[in-house]
Amino acid sequence: MSSEFAFMGVEAANATRGAQTLRRLRRAMNVHSAYHRLFVGEDGQLRPDALLVIGDIVRVAGIGTIVPNQSGAQLREREGRRMLGLHILARIDLSGEQMRELAQKERELNR
């Protein structure tokens, strides 16, 4: 009889883990969609202010820049910024074409 209760406990624990995983997945999908809605309009194009905000994120995160001769602490700080910047950019979920367009506009602004 006790083995039957043990099996039921394992089964219940697995169901709970499955429900928790499903909740985490739903939340991640909702967050991902929210980022996308903030930066991309219903027409699939970047919102007008998106370029400024994304450019600022890229600049602050130091994405695409190399700074030599830094201490370990400075490298860790830069890597943390870079990771956060890449995290945000990944959540926006831009297509390859949108990323090329964004890079082109950023280059034009920095001339």
Q: How many other C-beta atoms can be found within 10 angstroms of the C-beta atom of residue 89? A: 19
At 73, the pLDDT band (50, 70, 90 cuts) reads: very high
Nearest to 86 by CA among 74, 99, 97: 99
Is 60 exceeded by the pLDDT of residue 80? yes
CB atoms within 10 A of CB 102: 20
Closest CA to 10 of 80, 2, 79, 66: 2
Confidence of residue 76 (pLDDT cuts 50, 70, 90): very high
| Least confident segment among 35-39, 62-66, 95-99 | 95-99
Q: Structurally, how many domains does the chain consist of?
A: 1
Q: What's the CA gap between 92 and 99, in Å, rounded?
A: 11
pLDDT above 60 (res 23): yes
Average pLDDT over the chain reads 82
Whether 20 shows a pLDDT value over 90: the answer reads no
User: Residue 13: what are its φ and ψ, rounded to 5°?
Assistant: -65, -40
Domain span holding position 6: 2-109
Average pLDDT for residues 41-64, to the nearest whole number? 86
| pTM beyond 0.75 | no
Q: What percent of the chain has pLDDT over 70?
A: 84
The residues, any chain, with a CB within 8 Å of residue 52's CB and separated by 6 or more, are none
At 49, is the secondary structure helix, strand, or coil?
coil
